[in-house]
Copies of this chain bind each other. A is one copy, B any other.
Amino acid sequence: MPALSSVSHAATAAAAISRLPPPPADTLDGDVRALYEANHRENWIAALSVNGATAKRFAGYFGSLFATEGSLLPLQERELIAVIVSAINGCGLCEIHHVNALASALGDDEKARRIALDPHLAPLSAREQALVDLATSVTTDPKSVEPRAFDRLRAVGLSDAEILEAIETASWFNHTNRIFISLGVWPDEKYFDR
């Protein structure tokens, strides 16, 4: 083990980007190649580039849902949902990616890490707590989502369109988590720098 821990993580991780080996970057079609570069050659986009149509569909949907402008819920609330769902499903790649993004959106690293550990251990507003509970129900037992859950969300200020965006966001990570868990995609080293 001493020997192993001196092994370069980069080398090990490179071999483990995905169980379906990504194609060399220079063989990618133009628009897939552009996506790959625009996403900083991160492991997740490399893994998706095995199927260019998948990469484009995925990046298009995600780009729209997580755009800084144009969505209804503040970015920090969409990132909150992303972290909760990814932690429940055990997608380490998605969890660390969105913990970092949540920390940036909140301007509060400690709170973001507390939420990822367990939302019981973080100082949440009533609105944040209602979103956490919705994301949890949508993920673990969507049939348990009942009309009163919507009433609670309305009571903390969400419109019906915002409630649907919250449901969509929670459901979306049940999609993304499963892709990256199934492929076994490793988080990039840089995710651990902060």
Instruction: List the interface of chain A (C-beta within 8 A of B).
Output: 1, 4-5, 7, 9, 12-13, 19-21, 48, 50-51, 53-54, 57-58, 60-61, 64-65, 70-72, 74, 76, 89-93, 95-96, 106-111, 113-114, 117-118, 120-121, 123, 125, 127-128, 137-139, 142-143, 145, 147, 150, 160-165, 167-168, 170-172, 174-179, 181-184, 186-187, 189, 192
With known contacts A5-B106, A61-B61, A167–B182 Cβ distance under 8 A: yes
With known contacts A20-B164, A61-B57, A138-B182, A114–B128 Cβ distance under 8 A: no
How many chain copies?
6
With known contacts A118-B90, A179-B168, A127–B53 Cβ distance under 8 A: no
- Is A164 touching B54 in the complex (CB atoms < 8 A)? yes
Q: Which of B64, B139, B142 contacts A57 (CB 8 A)?
A: B64
A134 CB to closest chain B CB (Å) equals 8
When A and B form their complex, which 4 residue pairs have the shortest distance between CB atoms, in order from nearest?
Answer: A92-B117, A92-B118, A175-B175, A171-B178
- Is A51 touching B5 in the complex (CB atoms < 8 A)? no
Q: Which of B13, B50, B71 contacts A160 (CB 8 A)?
A: B50
